[in-house]
Amino acid sequence: MNITLRQLRIFEAVARLGSISRAAAELHLTQPAVSMQMKQLESLLGLTLVEQVGKRLTLTQAGTELREHARDIALRVVDLSAAMDQLRGLERGQLRLAVVSTANYFLPEVIAEFSRHHPGVRISLQVANRESVLAALAANTADLAITGRPPDGADIVAQRFMDNPLGVIAPPDHPLVGQGAVPLARLARETLVLREPGSGTRAALERHFAAHGLQIRPGCELGTNEALKQAVRAGLGLGMVSMQTLELELATGCLVLLPVEGFPIVRQWYVVQRARKRLSAAAQIFRGMLLALEPGVGG
């Protein structure tokens, strides 16, 4: 069989995304080009790899088997690239990062410092919620992931590098502001503005309430920290965010941290990699920069 790496890369993207159009967009190809490569691959193998179910493509048994091999081959190609990068030094190469959105408040400074010392390294940055970030790591589209709660599993290596305290925010005219310590049971009577399902911040809040036998009164769900802060400012409810995101709001007085029982919830930031993955020289140095940060920076 004369299967090419290009065909395997296209197939892996189609299998992961469940869509020809989304795979074409990710790979910067046209949809007809992706479709043609998929047909050629099926012709070479003499097997059907994908089937159309509604608007989504699903894998056949042969497609599921090929996906696992394609991932392994892709990982070996990345390992080869990393080995060559190490031999070349850091004059060029690529660093692929996947980070949860809250990390955007401290990560640009680290990236800028890295780029000043290694201007030849191209950096790609995916910003998403926890579930999507870990999916990028699993799919080998990221060398390193940064998240507040690493996944379980023997194939993952997670290293803690910095505190991530979570606090409850309110608009300055809220009745609870200035009333002293707020019992958690009192907070449970308030409508809470929440991050979307899949967010690590939301999961931490839900675990904290459940541990105390309390239920959340959910208000609107929002996909970013900035949208959540704006909703709290507008009076749509109280919210919980990383205190690392609040420097401007607290300085200007447009938001207030409430002294709620059991808060701040001090989580940790982790840099995560696949255990079997050989990191490039660039990824190793960037990971080292993160691990050198003071544990309480931003807290």
For 31-74, the pLDDT digits (tens) are 999 999 999 999 989 999 999 887 788 999 999 999 988 888 87
Of 49, 72, 95, the residue at which a domain comes to its end is 72
Q: Does residue 138 sit in the same domain as residue 275?
A: yes
Q: How far apart are CA 247 and CA 264, in angstroms?
A: 15
Pair 283, 147 in one domain: yes
CATH assignment of the domain containing 47: 1.10.10.10
* Residue 154 burial (C-beta neighbours within 10 Å; 0-12, 13-18, 19+): exposed
Question: pLDDT (tens digit, 9 = 90+) per residue, 93-103?
Answer: 789 999 998 88
pLDDT in tens, 110-147: 999 999 988 988 999 999 888 889 989 888 889 999 99
Residues 6+ apart with CB under 8 A from 271: 144, 145, 146, 158, 159, 161, 287, 290, 291
Quick check: is 58 in a domain? yes
Which pLDDT band, with edges at 50, 70 and 90, does 297 fall under? very low
**Do 95 and 148 reside in the same domain of the chain?**
yes
Tell me the CA distances in angstroms from 239 to 51, 193, 232, one per residue in order. Answer: 43, 5, 6
pLDDT band at 295 (very low <50, low <70, confident <90, very high): low
Determine, yes or no, domain membership for 56: yes
Token pair, residue 255, equals: 């938001």
Determine the straight-line distance between the first and last CA of the chain, rounded to whole angstroms. 56
151 with 272, same domain: the answer is yes
Regarding whether 154 and 189 lie in a shared domain, the answer is: no
* CATH code of the domain containing 130: 3.40.190.10
Last-in-domain residue among 50, 72, 94: 72
CA distance 38 to 41: 5
Same domain, 125 and 154: yes
What pTM, to 2 d.p., does this model score?
0.65
Specify whether 19 is located in the same domain as 44.
yes
Q: Which domain holds residue 29?
A: 5-72
Same domain? For 131 and 276 the reply is yes
| Helix, strand, coil % over all residues of the chain, rounded to 5 | 45, 25, 30
Instruction: Answer yes or no: do 58 and 134 share one domain.
Output: no
Q: 263 and 225, same structural domain?
A: yes
Q: 16, 48, 72: which is the final residue of a domain?
A: 72
Q: Which of 294, 297, 290, 299 is nearest to 158 (CA)?
A: 290
Q: Is residue 297 part of a domain?
A: no
- Claim to verify: residue 180 and residue 241 sit in the same structural domain: yes
Residue 236 lies inside a defined structural domain of this protein: yes
Is residue 298 situated within a structural domain? no
**Number of domains within the chain:** 3
pLDDT band at 296 (very low <50, low <70, confident <90, very high): very low
Are both 170 and 134 inside the same structural domain? no
